[in-house]
Chain A
């Protein structure tokens, strides 16, 4: 049982390049989330999904796209990377029980955009 895994762990991009971050979970969770974490800013929600085939915008969605084609995977895409997207990206998954929402986090992807 690996929990939540993220690929890749590190990446360096040049401005304007594109990339996709992959998140996979093996807990059969319905809900998945993408966050970015920056110094002094805490965790900020980018996009999330409440089930296979669904996506929704979070707090900071601009410049990112997501897809949830399979229940266990949630992809985060950067179409044209900018230096402002240099950050640590975390994926999380959860199975809501009423309002109880324990989210399980992956190890993170450190992205640098030059």
Chain B
């Protein structure tokens, strides 16, 4: 079993749709859960992070962590064509100096 699993998609939605992106993980030592956004031919950029369990909201984006199920989600409300990108989940914890990334989900929001 891989440490982090993420459905690569691709995912195509109409503008205005609610988007749900998910990752599962196996390492219970993970404490920080991040979502990176990567536009085509660019480097990844941190979008949101959450510590331990719970929800975090930032504008149209909501990150959720369920440590009991080892499951994290990113919700995008009122999706826009500018949200079209690859979204990578990433996790850290247990004193490791490394981030563990999911493979990324490619999202296209159609006008």
Contact = CB atoms under 8 A, between A and B. Distances in A.
Contacts of A65: none
B42 A102 contact: no
B46 interface: yes
Interface size class of B (residues with CB under 8 A): 20 to 34
B92 A58 contact: no
A63 to B, nearest CB: 20
Given A58-B98, A96-B97, A100-B92, A108 B8 contact: no
B11 to A, nearest CB: 15
Contact of B42 (A33, A58, A96, A108): A108
A105 B41 CA distance: 12
Given A99-B96, A105-B44, A107-B42, A43 B101 contact: yes
Interface centre among B8, B43, B46, B97 (most CB of A within 10 A): B43
A107 B94 CA distance: 29
Contacts of B96: 99
Contacts of A107: 42-43
Contacts of A58: 98
B45 to A, nearest CB: 7
Interface in A1-37: 4, 31, 33
Interface size class of A (residues with CB under 8 A): 20 to 34
A74 interface: no
Interface of B: 6, 8, 31-32, 34, 41-46, 49, 51, 88, 90, 92-99, 101-104
9 contacts: A33-B98, A40-B8, A42-B6, A42-B102, A50-B97, A99-B32, A100-B51, A102-B34, A105-B44
Given A42-B104, A99-B94, A105-B45, 20 more contacts: A40-B8, A42-B6, A43-B101, A48-B98, A90-B43, A90-B44, A96-B97, A99-B93, A100-B32, A100-B49, A100-B51, A101-B32, A101-B97, A101-B98, A102-B34, A102-B49, A103-B46, A103-B90, A103-B99, A108-B42
